[in-house]
Amino acid sequence: MEGEADTASVRTRNLRLLPNHLHTIWSLPEGDTDYSERWRLLKAHFSSR
């Protein structure tokens, strides 16, 4: 997510975008388990467009 790299780094391993939902497989930095924050940022990014 552009502009969020420093606070929400994540490596996308796989992504499937379907008409009504999204599937992802992410790798988070070691020791970081805050995936819910990534979803919040992702949703906010697309909702603001």
CA gap 37, 49 in Å, rounded:
19
Give all strands (DSSP E) within the chain, no chain letters: 11-17, 22-27
Q: Decide if 1 is inside a domain.
A: no
Within-domain flag for 3: no
| pLDDT > 50? residue 41 | yes
- Has residue 5 been placed in a domain? no
User: Above 50 in pLDDT, residue 18?
Assistant: yes
Assign 1 a pLDDT band (cuts: 50, 70, 90). very low
Does residue 17 lie within any of the structural domains? yes
User: Looking at the predicted structure, is the pLDDT value of residue 14 above 80?
Assistant: yes
- pLDDT for position 5: 47
Let me know if residue 2 belongs to a domain: no
Residue written as token pair 């930095």: 29
Split into its structural domains, the chain has a count of 1
Q: What is the extent of the structural domain holding 16?
A: 11-47
Sorting pLDDT into bands at 50, 70 and 90, what band is 31?
A: confident
| First-to-final CA distance of the chain | 13
Other C-beta atoms lying within 10 Å of the C-beta of residue 48: 6
CA distance linking residue 16 with residue 30, whole number of Å: 24
pLDDT for 49:
63
29 within domain boundaries: yes
